[in-house]
Amino acid sequence: MGRGKIEIKRIENANSRQVTFSKRRAGLLKKAKELAILCDAEVAVIIFSNTGKLFEFSSSGMKRTLTRYTKCQNSSETAIVEYKAEKQDSMEAEILKDEITNLQMKQLRLLGKELTGLSLKDLQHLEQQLNEGLLSVKERKEQLLMEQLEQSRVQEKRAMLENETLRRQVEELRGFFPSTDNSLPSYLEYYPVERKHSMPKNGVIGPDVLCNCAMEKEDSDTTLQLGLPSDVYRKRKVPERESCSNNSGSQIGMV
């Protein structure tokens, strides 16, 4: 005869409960061993009796099995967290896509396109936005032009100051180095007429002319060698010519 069904509940009799625990514990450990051998599975069983005794079975070592169990538990929790984060990201991506679509539609409407589905109130609102944007653009444009004009004025003032500084420096340098363009004039520039009229018409040279020519040559050579200025040469030449003319006149009277 087969066994009758046993009601699954706590056995009240302590002796019967202990006997049932021993039998069922041995059967459970036997089944776990058979499962590990037959199916090449990693099995671990931990049993604590009501008195606190420990009974265990492990096909690959209890610590190894518990470590693997902990890793799997953590990985499952991590997988759950990642799944929730991925789901949240997908929801945010959908929201962003909807916002991008709305912004693209607004941009097209600001450009005067896709206006078929708008009402009169929407069109008036769009026209107001365009007018406000146009005013803002004009104000910004005027501001930039004024800033450029101010910068040009500042650069102009700076250039004028630099030019004035350079001009003062040039004047100071000219004061330190005086001009040396005035060269000594020649004798012919002072007395071109006298030499021309000193020649007689008949081609005969008199003694006064010879005296004057000799004196002029000596004086000019001396002036060039000593580097005397022309005004000193002129002052020295006048009395010498007078003395030479007097001597020639006295000689003519004696003759």
Tell me which of 19-28, 108-117, 161-170 is least confident. Answer: 108-117
- CATH for 63: 3.40.1810.10
In the chain, what percentage of residues exceed pLDDT 70? 67
Overall domain count for the chain: 2
Does residue 24 sit within a domain? yes
pLDDT attached to residue 179:
55
pLDDT at 184 exceeding the cut of 60: no
Domain end call among 25, 55, 81: 81
Residues 79-128 pLDDT 10s: 777 778 888 888 999 999 999 998 988 888 888 887 887 888 888 888 88
Give the whole-angstrom CA distance, residue 32 versus residue 13: 28
User: Using an 8 Å Cβ cutoff, are 36 and 53 in contact?
Assistant: no
Domain end call among 81, 99, 121: 81
Residues 196-213 pLDDT 10s: 444 444 444 444 544 454
Please report the sign of the dihedral spanned by the C-alpha atoms of residue 184, residue 189, residue 194, residue 195. Answer: positive
Per the structure, the complete domain to which residue 230 belongs is given by: 192-254
